[in-house]
Every structure is written in C-alpha cells, then in structure tokens.
A and B are shown apart, each in its own frame.
Chain A
Amino acid sequence: MHITQGTFSFLPDLTDEQITAQAKYCLGKGWSLNIEFTDDPHPRNTYWEMWGTPMFDLKDPAGLMYELAECRKVHAGRAYIRVSAFDATPGWESLRLSFITDRPAEEPGFMLQRQERGGRMIAYTTRAYAADRPAGARY
C-alpha cells in the first residue's frame, strides 16, 4: 500500500528539484521549514521525530536540501520523512504545507480491528502492521 498523508501523496515521488521549488515557495511566504521522520505511519501519529529544530532563520532552500540529505543518510528506506512549513502569522500559527519526501521501501499498511459492542456498534482500531516490531526495527 501507499499511505496518502501529506499534500502531494497522489503524485509520483517528488524529485529534489521539485522539493526545492516547494521550499522556495514556502520561504517566499515567510514560513519556517522543518524536517521530521517516523517509522509509525498511524494517521493519528501527530508527533513525528524532529530532525533538529525548525529552520526559523533559513533564507535559502539549499539549507533545507542539505539537512534533508543528512536526514536521508540516516533514515532513507527505513522511515517516512516529511517537510513541513510553519506560518507564525497571528490567527494562523500552524502548518501551511506538509508533504512526504521519502517512504520506506515497503509499506505493509494497516489492519482494521473491530470490536463488536451492543446495538450493532463497533469500536474500530487502526493498527499499522509495521508497528508489530519495535521502533527502529520496523522497515
């Protein structure tokens, strides 16, 4: 399977040139970029691991691409990596863009567990097959 979190998951994987263009767009808007990675693809896993702190003072997309390359050296093929852009404008103060740049070589997907309750109600639990193994040894 292919998880479709992030802004561009229905497109072919972005090239470095395409990632650079998106980074340039975000920096042009005054947003701060950051890189995160995880080996837990659950849709409610909000807090991916941060690759350093957000690059608040970055001006040149090359800085992002350098850090992305460093992150890939450690995690490529074994984790998801995403780039996000944070907007500190009053009344927003949240992400403006967030897209996956790298995926594990294989994505085993999710199991949907159903717990039957009374009155035809079902309690649903989504469980990533990858999470059966300990963190760090999942992909």
Chain B
Amino acid sequence: MGNVSATAHKSRYDAGVMKYKEMGYFDLDYQPKNTDVLVLFRITPQDGVDSEEAAAAVAGESSTATWTVVWTDRLTACETYRAKCYRVDPVPGQEGQYFAYIAYDLALFEPGSIVNLSASIIGNVFGFKPLKALRLEDMRLPVAYVKTFDGPATGIVVERERLDKFGRPLLGATVKPKLGLSGRNYGRVVYEALKGGLDFTKDDENINSQPFMHWRDRFLYCMEAVNRAQAMTGEVKGTYLNISAATMEDMYERAEFAKELGSAIVMIDLVIGYTAIQSMAKWARRNDMILHLHRAGHSTYTRQKSHGVSFRVIAKWMRLAGVDHIHAGTVVGKLEGDPFTTRGYYDICRETHNPMRLEHGIFFDQDWAGLRRMMPVASGGIHAGQMHQLLDLLGEDCVLQFGGGTIGHPMGIAAGATANRVALEAMVLARNEGRDILAEGPAILHAAARGCAPLAQALEVWKDVTFNYASTDTPDFVPTLTPA
C-alpha cells in the first residue's frame, strides 16, 4: 500500500497539477475486494504517454479525479472513492495497447441503476486527450451489486414453460419489407409465417408508428394473425410488438394496449436508453410480459476493437436491467460476429456463472446470483441450409430468426417457415441421437427434405449464400495447446 502513505502526505493536496499515478489512482499491490466493481479497459496512450500513467488517469477520470488537485477531496473519504488501477498488461500482438484493470468501490454506485453505473464508468473518460483510444472490454459485477437489480422478468426457463416449447431453439422472423407495409398486409406476413411453423414474428427496430402504418393498426392486425395461427396449429404463437416510441408515456400506452390484446411479448430498441429499458423491464415484470430487446445502434460503439464498449458489457448491463431476449449475433449471418467472441456473449446471457475464459473474451469470473437467464437471439442473413452450424455454434436456448430466409422462400412465406422448422427439428433429433451434425449436417438436411418440398427448395435457393468476411472484434487470446 505504498501509494496510500504517499497520498496521505500533506503535499498531495498542494494546489497544482500532479501525475494521476501519484494521486492515489494506481496501486499494483491493491487486492480487489469481493464487493468491488472490477473493470478492464483497453487503453491506447498517445505517443510519449506512459502506459501506467495513462491507466491511472483512466481510473482517476472515471472516479473522483479532475485535472488539478482540489482541496475539497479532504472533506471526503477520498481513499475509498478513488478507483485504483491494480494491473496493467500489454495487449498480446497489439503494440501500443494495454489492458488496464481498475477496481471501484461499491459505494460509488447507486443500487439498481444502469444509468449511474454507465455514467460512472464511461461517462467522461472516453474523450480524454492523453489517450488515442479507449475501450471498455469487460466488467466484474460483484454479487452485492447484482442483487440490487431485478434481472429478466421472465427468463429462458419461464419463457419456455409459458410458450410450452422445449428442447429446440425457438424460430422467428422479422417482417419484411421492413418499411411500407400497411397494417393489413403486415398481419398477412405474420399469419403466414406463424401458421407455417415459426414460433415468433418480429417488428423491425424502426417499425414504430409511421405514416404507412400506425401502431394501433399494426397491433390489432398482428394479434388477429397470432390468434388465427394458434387456432390453425394448436400451438402457442407470439409476435414482438415494438413499443419503442418518443416518450415513456407513449411507450407505456403501447405496452398497455399490447397487453390488453393478449400479446405474450413486446419489444424495445436499445436506442431508447438505459432508463427507458429499466422502466419497461419493471413494467414487463408487473405484467407477465416477455421483453425483447433489439440492440439497435450498438455497432456504433461495440464493433471496433480499439475504442468504445464491448458488446459483452452491454449484454451484462442488459441482464441486470432485466430484458428477456437480446440480439447477440449469429456468427454465420450477415452481421459482425467472431465465433469465440460470440460464444462469450451467449455465455453471459445464459449461464448462472461465467468463469474467466480469455479465449472467449471473458476476463473475469461473474456470478449471476440467481438472476434469470436471457434468451440470445440470432438474426440477420441466416437460412435453413446453415441449421447444423447454427445449432452447433449457438446451442438450443436461443431464438433463430430467419427473416429473408422465411419470407423470401419461392413457394411463399408459410412454406419458408415450414422449411426452417423441419430443418431445425430434424437437426435436433439427429444431434440427440448422437450424430455428428457438423459433419453430417448437409446429409441430414437433404434426408429431411425428401419428405418436405419446401425444405428442398430452400436448400436449393440459398445453397451458395454465405457471408465470409473477417471479423473486427476478435479475442486477444487464443487457447494454447498443452502436450498430453
């Protein structure tokens, strides 16, 4: 605790500018407490800036420090409130980048508030001039803090019980075209897709209440479609009614209407903001509603490895905030997604405890303290021909959303839905029988297609569709093989 004695010295508070490292924000001997919030930043100091001083500055600027010494610190228990950088490592293979581990005392945070947590950790420091770039990579949220949040209102287990669907991924589709359909035509797509075999349909992120389709009209036609499809199949169906709107009052009005119509699920966009998300999560809990979150906008700050906030942190915040579904990547689809990094996101959503796994980008052990599990949603450029890869990569507790892969089917929407459902059930059956679905996947699909013309057509139409581009957000650590 060498720094503590240094900072206790009277000269610490003489007017002027000091190095952050000497102000009590850097202590390699600090032993993080079980109740500390631990944060890993990736820092890229400006040329000539010492990495440890930069790390201390991040700790300082994200807790109590300002650019100059203030005597008013001495009116507080300032040692407690100072974040402490306790470890700095060079990033493997990335010259000029460092991993800075910083501990924050729990007293710095308001209970149950993502807004307070995020304003503290990312509120100010990301524009700090001595850094070229800064990225929030991961956080360890202590059990004491986790327990101040409600977590998902429904969670995977109860969602499955409520929908009476077990043992396989759920199937969904986003209604397309995403803009321009009237309420009546929109409901047609919902009906066909659900009748054909999907469990869910979904509004897209920017379907709110535009001139071509007002929200009430959409809700009414969609619920006609849902109920009609339930009667045609004897199976519980749902459609994510997007209640995102300009104000909380509008959102509550839309949520109440969805509930009155008997919808099992509503959806919100990430861009509504953390406070609105937590408000809707509490509403969902009061009203037995499944809450779907579309991560609209996240790639503006999650995608680039050097600067921003990793999606794994957003996923953790959203599990605390209490959403039931969250888009978490497809790996094989059209949107960004490295397989190992994505695996890390899925584990954050679904596990009761996340052990540190550097090769998946998980830097800390995280105990979820009984918070329910979030259902990850895979959406964007996936189709029936990838079913073996999807099941192998993503497991069975997820929603697979085939928008174009349902609605674009040459025999129609219901046929597209049937193709996906048959492909999925055939693959789950084969996996459970112990077959190697990655190796035998195409053969399993073609065998199933012999009794299902829509699947045969889907496999033919989309056989060459892949999105093979390099990921930008990949893990920094690769598993090392140890000799047996």
User: Which residues of chain A have a CB within 8 Å of any CB of chain B?
Assistant: 1, 3-5, 7-12, 14, 18, 21-22, 25, 41-44, 46, 84-85, 90-99, 109-112, 120-122, 124, 126, 128
* Contact between A41 and B231, CB atoms less than 8 A apart: no
Residues on the B chain within 8 Å of A121, using CB: 220, 260-261
Judge whether B150 is part of the interface by a CB distance below 8 angstroms. no
Q: Is there an interface contact between B422 and A4, defined as CB atoms closer than 8 Å?
A: no
Selected from A11, A43, A92, the residue in CB contact (under 8 A) with B429 is A11
Known: A25-B434, A99-B167, A126-B230. A4 touches B236 (CB 8 A): no
Which chain B positions have C-beta within 8 A of A98?
164, 166-167
* A12 B451 Cβ-Cβ under 8 A: yes
Instruction: Give the number of residue pairs across the A-B interface with Cβ within 8 Å.
Output: 108
Interchain CB contact under 8 A, B164 and A43? yes
What range describes how many residues of B lie at the interface? 35 or more
Given A4-B235, A10-B418, A126-B231, A91 and B197 contact (CB-CB distance below 8 Å): no
| Separation of A5 and B165 alpha carbons in the complex (Å) | 8
Convert B214-239 into 0s and 1s, putting 1 for each residue whose CB lies closer than 8 angstroms to a CB of A.
00000010011001101111111000
Collect the chain A residues with CB atoms within 8 Å of residue B231's CB: 109-112, 126
Given A18-B429, A43-B236, is A90 in contact with B228 using a C-beta cutoff of 8 Å? no
B161 CB within 8 Å of chain A: yes
A97 to chain B: which residues have CB within 8 Å?
A: 166-167, 432
- Per the bound structure, the CA–CA distance linking A41 and B157 in Å amounts to 22
Partner of A10, one of B164, B165, B422: B422
Say yes or no for B428: interface residue by CB 8 A criterion: yes
Neighbour of B166 across the interface among A18, A84, A90, A122, CB < 8 A: A84
User: How far apart are the CA atoms of A18 and B260 in the complex, in Å?
Assistant: 43
| Chain B binding surface SS class | helix
In the assembled complex, the Cα of A120 lies from the Cα of B222 at a distance in Å of 13
In the assembled complex, B392 has its CB within 8 A of some CB on chain A = no
B148 interface residue per 8 A CB criterion: no
Say yes or no for B426: interface residue by CB 8 A criterion.
yes
Contact B451 A43 (CB under 8 A): no
Interface of chain B residues 425 through 476 with chain A (CB within 8 A)? 425-426, 428-429, 432-434, 448, 451
CB distance B234 to A92 under 8 Å?
Answer: no
Q: At the interface, yes or no: B168 with Cβ under 8 Å from chain A? A: yes
Minimum-distance CB pairs A-B, first 4 = A3-B234, A97-B167, A112-B231, A124-B227
Query: CB-defined interface of B241-271 with A at 8 Å, one 1/0 digit per residue?
Result: 0000000000000000000111000000000
Contact A44 B236 (CB under 8 A): yes
Residue contact B157 to A92, C-beta cutoff 8 Å? yes
CA separation between A93 and B426, bound complex, in Å? Answer: 26
Whether, in the assembled complex, B421 has its beta carbon less than 8 Å from a beta carbon of chain A, the answer is: yes
Which of chain B's residues 148-168 have a Cβ closer than 8 Å to chain A? 157, 160-161, 164-168
Give the complex CA separation of A132 and B352 in angstroms.
45
**Minimum distance in angstroms from A94 CB to a CB of chain B:** 5
Do A7 and B425 have beta carbons less than 8 Å apart?
yes
Given contacts A41-B234, A44-B236, 16 further A-B contacts (CB under 8 A): A3-B235, A4-B233, A10-B421, A21-B433, A22-B429, A22-B432, A25-B433, A43-B235, A91-B352, A95-B160, A97-B167, A97-B432, A109-B234, A110-B230, A110-B234, A128-B234
